[in-house]
Structure 1
Amino acid sequence: MIVEINGNPLDVELLGGDDPGKPLLIAHHGAPGLGSRREPSAAFGHLSDLFRVLVFDARGSGKSGDVPPFTHEQWAADIDALREWAGAETLVMAGGSYGGFLAMEYTIAHPHRVLALVLRDTAPDHTHEEAATANARASSRIQVDEDKLDRIMAGQIRDNDDFRDCWASILPLYDHEYDPASIQARVDSVDYHYATHNFAFAVNQHHYDVKPGLPSVSCPTLVTVGRSDWITPVECSETIAALIPDAQLVVFEKSGHSPPMEEPERFQQVVRDFLVTRVLDA
């Protein structure tokens, strides 16, 4: 459904019914300008028997509107407005990749709202970009197009057709097991918003660093990551888990950037066990 949030239409889906007795879980997708609610729905929709799971296309992504600004502050404000729209005082906050950036920023800004934090393949600051670029260039899987890699990482995409081409050129890097036959369908499934991506990568990332705030996170935290994640390598999640008191780190040995898709049964069990133990039974 389309919901007007802070002056911008967002495409929102609430899984698990409208039972106010169920805790709310909001899951934020990654890849601003590329991502959509399909990703967090696949990762966290299985929890709809226990939680009301709210997934959405963020401002400037998917089927949602493109009203700027595309800042972390605005995206975090949209999360809080969605919480209020759902009628919840508290929530479980989840996010993958760039969505993990926003999940951490929201948790640091609203500690009294967050019952638990679940992160997937994310980073605590922007220094992962250098490692990601090196990993892409060292890949034996593809011959990286240097111009496209540099422009997508720097937020210098020319238009949506260029965004599509640049995305297609690096998509083979993401999975633990490479399936060339799946690439075209994945490229075709995306709604492209190049201006959102450019602002996120050319402006937001240069200032992104939540490390100083992570030691103040007091809610139960689960940090998950794929062993062969090229863009937010394991070391990033290790840093997050080391900075957040009593955080639990789980590495998925047969996954790249998306354990929910590559090891779905184990990922779902790890997340479910964590939330049942640390939230529902606490």
Structure 2
Amino acid sequence: MTTQDIAPLTTGTHSIEVDGIVQRYHVHGQGPVCVAHSGGPGIAWEYLRMPELERRLTVVYLEPIGTGASGRLAAHPAGYTRARYSRCLDAVIEHLGVGRVHLLGHSHGGFVAQYLALRHPEQVASVILYESAPVTGDEHVAEAMARFQEFAARNADRPELPEVVAALQSLPAATGDDEITRVVRGVIPAYFADFWGREQEFSAFRSAAAAAFIRAEDDHRVPDTVDDRGALGGLGAPALVLVGRQDFICGVRWAEELHALIPGSELVVFEDSGHFAHIEEPERFAEVVAGFVAARTADAGPAPVEG
């Protein structure tokens, strides 16, 4: 692993090399160190910027390999397993040099955070599972489709609804970064509790969304499925589980199951949010996360060096 010759928590963009692949990360904010892993796989990291939280925490955002200016695997679009992402996450934490960090994983990033916290507890002061789930595969897909039907029923009178449905239906056939980005932008209204009621607030978020064409498969095209139900009872780090009441993809059912499986975990439901509480309820989101971290800062890192 090689690194830039720069203080690892300086505000701005950094790169390290992990197993020959460039891994970028971005530092913003001040306070205890919280490392944030965005979702996907393949979604550009910028959607996860949490300005309100950055007022209270130093947030280190990974730019996942395969996206943006981070490197791509030789097996691209395959090979992006949780184990691979966890290896990169572990390397960034080690590079920061601050001991244990608070770890926030959103959506697929939550799967990665679970994986690392279970296997490298010495790296983790606490874990925040934000719109995560204990399992993927057929059961997860069936639950998501049921919740999507509820979204469609709530918005049956919206003239824009058929476009969202068509975008979701086009996902299996989409290939290439441009096609996946169009799909992501097309389905975004389903990820919010009330996108069209607050469209003026959220339209820029939708327009800026970007994605890379990545398959959740190993190097041999075997699906990288998740089933942490048997392991989460051994998660020793303090855990906070966050979910939006109207999230269709990683909804309340999964948050409640995570909460039940993880000893001593805390569960917070954002009643006016879907998949993006940090956008839909930013002040409360920041208050909840920063409050949780504040009680567990013994191994958190220093504020970044401005530069």
Is TM (by shorter chain) over 0.5?
Answer: yes
- What corresponds to 1:62 in structure 2? 68
Contact 1:27-1:40 within 8 A present in 2 as well: no
Decide which of 175, 186, 192 is 2:205's aligned counterpart.
Answer: 186
Gaps of 5+ in 1: none
**In structure 1, C-alpha distance between the alignment counterparts of 2:277 and 2:23, rounded to whole Å:** 26
Contact 1:116-1:279 within 8 A present in 2 as well: no
Percent identical among aligned pairs is 27
Structure 1 172/38 Cα, relative in aligned 2: closer, same or farther at 3 Å? Answer: closer
**In structure 1, C-alpha distance between the alignment counterparts of 2:201 and 2:33, rounded to whole Å:** 33
Q: Structure 1 runs of 4+ off > 6 angstroms?
A: none
Query: Residue 55 of structure 2: SS of its match in structure 1?
Result: helix
Structure 1 158/251 Cα, relative in aligned 2: closer, same or farther at 3 Å? Answer: same
- CA shift for structure 1 position 220: 0.9
- CA shift for structure 1 position 269: 1.0
- What corresponds to 2:229 in structure 1? 211
**In structure 1, C-alpha distance between the alignment counterparts of 2:26 and 2:253, rounded to whole Å:** 33
- CA shift for structure 1 position 271: 1.2
Query: Residue 219 of structure 1: SS of its match in structure 2?
Result: coil
- CA shift for structure 1 position 133: 1.8
- CA shift for structure 1 position 15: 2.9
Structure 1 76/237 Cα, relative in aligned 2: closer, same or farther at 3 Å? Answer: same
- CA shift for structure 1 position 247: 0.3
- What corresponds to 1:12 in structure 2? 25
Query: Residue 47 of structure 1: SS of its match in structure 2?
Result: coil
**In structure 2, C-alpha distance between the alignment counterparts of 1:206 and 1:85, rounded to whole Å:** 27
- What corresponds to 1:132 in structure 2? 144
- What corresponds to 1:121 in structure 2? 131
The residue identity in structure 2 corresponding to 1:33 is G
The residue identity in structure 2 corresponding to 1:133 is M
The residue identity in structure 1 corresponding to 2:25 is V
Q: Deviations over 1:176-198 (max 9, x none)?
A: 1223456664343233311x256
**In structure 2, C-alpha distance between the alignment counterparts of 1:162 and 1:239, rounded to whole Å:** 34
**In structure 2, C-alpha distance between the alignment counterparts of 1:204 and 1:128, rounded to whole Å:** 18
**In structure 1, C-alpha distance between the alignment counterparts of 2:288 and 2:107, rounded to whole Å:** 18
Structure 1 228/75 Cα, relative in aligned 2: closer, same or farther at 3 Å? Answer: same
Contact 2:233-2:263 within 8 A present in 1 as well: yes
Count of residues in correspondence between the two structures: 271
- Root-mean-square deviation (CA, aligned residues, Å) is 2.8
The residue identity in structure 2 corresponding to 1:135 is R
Structure 1 23/146 Cα, relative in aligned 2: closer, same or farther at 3 Å? Answer: closer
- What corresponds to 1:39 in structure 2? 48
The residue identity in structure 2 corresponding to 1:63 is A
Structure 1 205/123 Cα, relative in aligned 2: closer, same or farther at 3 Å? Answer: farther
The residue identity in structure 1 corresponding to 2:183 is C
**In structure 1, C-alpha distance between the alignment counterparts of 2:14 and 2:71, rounded to whole Å:** 10
- CA shift for structure 1 position 151: 4.9
Query: Residue 12 of structure 1: SS of its match in structure 2?
Result: strand
Contact 1:90-1:114 within 8 A present in 2 as well: yes
Q: Output the TM-score relative to the length of structure 1.
A: 0.85
Structure 1 228/191 Cα, relative in aligned 2: closer, same or farther at 3 Å? Answer: closer
Flag the structure with more relative contact order, 1 or 2, with Cα contacts below 8 A and sequence separation at least 6.
Answer: 2
Contact 2:235-2:262 within 8 A present in 1 as well: yes
Query: Residue 211 of structure 2: SS of its match in structure 1?
Result: coil
| 1:116-265 paired onto structure 2 within 5 Å | 116-126=126-136, 127-138=139-150, 139-140=152-153, 141=155, 142-143=161-162, 148-152=167-171, 154=172, 156-179=173-196, 180-181=199-200, 185-194=204-213, 196-197=214-215, 199=217, 207-265=225-283
- What corresponds to 2:106 in structure 1? 96
Decide which of 23, 26, 36 is 2:35's aligned counterpart.
Answer: 26
- CA shift for structure 1 position 90: 1.5
**In structure 1, C-alpha distance between the alignment counterparts of 2:193 and 2:165, rounded to whole Å:** 22
Q: Output the TM-score relative to the length of structure 2.
A: 0.78
